[in-house]
Structure 1
C-alpha cells in the first residue's frame, strides 16, 4: 500500500527552498554531493522528526516523543543526494542545515520497503539519542496530525543503518517488541555487592 506522506508546514518548506536557492547556503554546506549536483535540486518526502527522550517503558505502551523538526530528502535527478533539516524556533519553522551520509540512503531504502507493506502508514522519523539511533516510524493512523502523537504499540519502527550494535538495521519491528529491547540496552548494569 502507498505511504501517506504528511504535508510539511509551509514555512518549513519555504525555508528549505530558500536555502536551496542560495548559492552561499549550498556552497557552505558540508555536503559535497549537494555542491556537485548537476541540475535542479528539489526537497521531497517531508518527514516529521521526533525524539524519544528517554526509553524507560518495558511494557510496549506508548512512550512520549517530541516533535523537533522536519526533514526533507533533497533529490537531484533520480536519487537523494542530501537531506535538509528544519527546526522550530519562537518565530516559527526555519532552515537548520543540509547533510549527507548513510541515513539519507537508509531512509530512502526504508521508505521503498515500507511501500510494499499491506497496510497504509504515515512515515515519520524517530530518533533515540541515547543510543545514537534513528528509525523510520510507520505510524498506523495515516490520517493523524503529523505534528502530534506518540508511538503506539502496533506502530512499526525500522532502525536505519547504521544501527547500534545488536540491533538489525532495515528490519521492521512493532513498537511493543522493540521498546523493551531498547529499554534493556539503556538500563545501567546493577552493581554487585561482594560480602
Structure 2
C-alpha cells in the first residue's frame, strides 16, 4: 500500500492509553460518545499534527509539529479522538474531543489509499482559516515530525472546509497555497499589558 502512517512516539501512545484508563479523564472529557462507549477503547491511526504558521512571500509554507492525534475506536466505530502535545518533559496527553473531523479524516485516508505513489499521511492545521487538511507528504520514509509541505505534496481539506474550498478534493500544495495565503490571517500580537 503506498499510504504510509508513521508510528507515533511510544510516550505519546502511552499518555493516551493512560488517559483512556483514567475514569476521571474520560468522565471529564466533553465527548459524550467516549463517556458512553461500551467495551474496550483503543487508540488507532496516529497522525502527526502540524500547524501552518505562515506562508512566506515566496509561497513557502512554514509549519511546526504541534502533536499527535489518535482516533479512539470502540469495537467497529470511532467514538472520539485524542491529541497529545510535546512538553519540556516529553509527550503528554492533551485532550479528548469528537466532531466531524474524525469521520472526515477517516474518509480522506480511505480516499488516499488509492494514491499511485508512496506518500505519508499527516494532518495540517491552518488556524487562520479554521481549516484542517490531510497532508500527503512525498517523503514516505520520514518520521513524520519534520519537513514542510513540498510544492508537489497533496492537501485534502477535511469537512467542514472554509467557504469556497471544497472538502475532500485533493489539491497540490502549489495550487492550494496561493488560494489560502490572502485569506489566512496571521496570529495577532498580544496587546501590551495583556497575558500572552
Instruction: Check whether TM > 0.5.
Output: yes
| Deviation by residue 1:21-41 (Cα, 9 ceiling, x = unmatched) | 111111111000011111111
Cα distance in 2 for residues equivalent to 1:171 and 1:136:
11
Cα distance in 1 for residues equivalent to 2:2 and 2:78:
19
Residue aligning to 1:98: 96
Pick closer, same or farther for the CA change 1:92–1:163 going to 2, 3 Å: same
Could you say what secondary structure the match of 1:86 adopts?
strand
Residue aligning to 1:192: none
Cα distance in 1 for residues equivalent to 2:152 and 2:28:
42
Scaled by the length of structure 2, what TM-score is found?
0.91
Work out which of the residue numbers 94, 119, 129 in structure 1 matches 2:127.
129
Q: Indicate yes or no: 2:34 matched with 1:34.
A: yes
Cα distance in 1 for residues equivalent to 2:100 and 2:63:
24
Cα distance in 1 for residues equivalent to 2:86 and 2:2:
29
Q: Which runs of 5+ in 2 are unaligned?
A: 187-196
Residue aligning to 1:82: 80
Could you say what secondary structure the match of 1:54 adopts?
strand
Work out which of the residue numbers 156, 171, 176 in structure 1 matches 2:174.
176
Q: Which runs of 5+ in 1 are unaligned?
A: 189-195
After TM superposition, list the pairs within 5 Å mapping 1:107-146 onto structure 2: 107-146=105-144
Shift of the alpha carbon at 1:187? 7.3
Does the Cα contact within 8 Å between 2:108 and 2:168 map onto a contact in 1?
yes
Cα distance in 1 for residues equivalent to 2:142 and 2:47:
13
Cα distance in 2 for residues equivalent to 1:32 and 1:184:
38
Scaled by the length of structure 1, what TM-score is found?
0.91
Cα distance in 1 for residues equivalent to 2:116 and 2:76:
26
Residue aligning to 1:49: 49
